[in-house]
Amino acid sequence: MAAHVIFSDPKLDTVALDTLKNGIGGSRLILPAKVASSVLEVGEADPAFGEAEIAFGQPLLESIYASERLRWIQVSSAGFTRYDTPEFREYARKRGLVVTNSSSVYAEACAEHVLAFMLAQSRKLPESLAKRIPNGEPEWMQLRDSCRPLRGQNVLILGFGGIAKQLLEMLAPFRMNIVAMRRHPRGDEGVKVVTSAGLECALAEADHVINILPDNGESAGFFDRKRFQQMKPGAVFYNIGRGTTVNQEELFSALKSGALAAAWLDVTTPEPLPQNHALWTLENCHITPHTAGGHRSESLTLVKHFLSNYERYSQGRELEDRVI
């Protein structure tokens, strides 16, 4: 392989860093003086960035704009918010700059997280794990009766990327009625697809509304009062995309009134929610602290995914998880 200069700023454990060093052959690796504390966090501007042809991590926009050598960015998260603007897309197009993300690394764990939420809801795990009631009592009968197998229920998935594809596979055995919303349907989704024009009807029919929307100009506050009111009474709302896509005050109202049966959120604004936030007070609001994509050996998987794309890049092949 030809030698390249690679700037890498994700926080990596020793095994992952060694794998990266060994995997790039004769290329030069530049590590920043200060490493980000998570794959989501933006690093500090680094004077050495300008030497890099490839950036792996969360490079700053100002560093990208200042760089003359940069050709390819592999974002170390599934989201790529700060690059997902018309301006940046136009800039990248003009410069021939390619942007990939790491959605493959997190898709399986995220999809499992959603299914864990759905099954915890269908089996009433939070309530059941807290009860010590005898068989046969009215409360026990009521708890059993409140469980509802997934089979035959309606699901609406918003945001059709790697996570949705993994989730569809995992949901197949349950024979649910699945609809996906996608900005630009391609016909390869394998389920019924609607655009925003069909959203109102889809929301009215869904028992489970799964929000995997990315954070960009179009999605800010996407789930507002109107959309919560369009949902079927007793529907369950899930968010493992980004917290910014939800109006949390309106979500609170919909949960408090019982219009929605429950919400399961892995993302909020901000993260974590302040201790006195109203959503913490609701028994039907279940929140995990942005752990949906997490899994053992995460940073090693992240590096292996980068190296796989690095090999493709070196060979002039199409990159995986390309987003721009």
In angstroms, the CA 24 to CA 12 distance is: 15
Does position 289 interact with its own copies (CB under 8 A)? The reply is: yes
Our finding on whether 44 is near its own copies (CB under 8 A) is no
- Of residues 27, 51, 95, 174, which one binds its own copies by CB under 8 A? 174
Q: Which is nearer to its own copies, 258 or 289 (CB)?
A: 289
Confirm or reject binding of residue 140 to its own copies (CB under 8 A): yes
Which of 287, 302, 303, 323 touches its own copies by CB under 8 A?
A: 287
The span from the CA of 155 to the CA of 133, in Å, is 32
The neighbouring-strand residues paired with 285 are: 263
Q: Which stretch binds its own copies (CB under 8 A): 17-25, 86-94, 265-273, 310-318?
A: 265-273
The span of 20-28, 140-148, 209-217, 244-252 binding its own copies (CB under 8 A) equals: 140-148
Q: Which of residues 141-160 bind its own copies (CB under 8 A)?
A: 141, 143-151
Side by side, which strands form the sheet with 208-211?
Answer: 192-194, 177-181, 154-158, 208-211, 235-239, 260-265, 285-287
- Alpha-carbon distance values, 269 to 109, 224, 237, 255 (Å): 22, 14, 16, 17
Angle between helices 14-23 and 298-314 (to 10 degrees): 10
Active site residue 290: yes
The whole-angstrom separation of Cα 66 and Cα 46 is 11
Q: Which of 8, 97, 104, 124 binds its own copies (CB under 8 A)?
A: 124
Of these residues, 4, 113, 286, 290, which one is catalytic?
Answer: 290
**In terms of CB distance, is 68 or 145 closer to its own copies?**
145
Nearer to its own copies, 108 or 321 (CB): 108
| CB of 154 vs its own copies, minimal distance in Å | 15
Region label for 51, one of left (φ > 0), alpha (ψ between -120 and 50) or beta (otherwise): alpha
Among 27, 95, 112, 324, binds its own copies (CB under 8 A): 112
Task: Supply φ then ψ for residue 207, to 5 degrees.
Answer: -80, -30
Give the other-Cβ count within 10 Å of 91's Cβ: 16
84 binds its own copies (CB under 8 A): no
Cβ closest to its own copies, residue 220 vs residue 273: 273
Q: Binding of its own copies at residue 128 (CB under 8 A)?
A: yes
Q: Does 35 bind its own copies (CB under 8 A)?
A: no
- Indicate which single residue of 94, 132, 184, 186 sits in contact with its own copies (rule: CB under 8 A): 132
Choice from 22, 275, 276, 315 touching its own copies (CB under 8 A): 275
Taking residue 118's Cβ as centre, other Cβ atoms within 10 Å add up to 24
Nearer Cβ to its own copies, position 4 or 242? Answer: 242
Stretch that binds its own copies, among 52-60, 188-196, 272-280, 316-324 (CB under 8 A): 272-280
Three-state DSSP class for 139?
helix
Q: Which alpha helices (H) appear in the chain, and where do they start and end?
A: 14-23, 61-66, 86-95, 103-122, 125-130, 138-146, 162-171, 199-205, 225-230, 248-256, 298-314
Residue 119: count other Cβ atoms within 10 Å of its Cβ: 13
Binding residues (CB under 8 A) for its own copies: these are: 36-38, 40-41, 108-109, 112-113, 115-116, 119-120, 122-126, 128-129, 131-137, 140-141, 143-151, 169-170, 172-174, 271-273, 275, 280, 286-298
Active-site residue numbers? Answer: 290
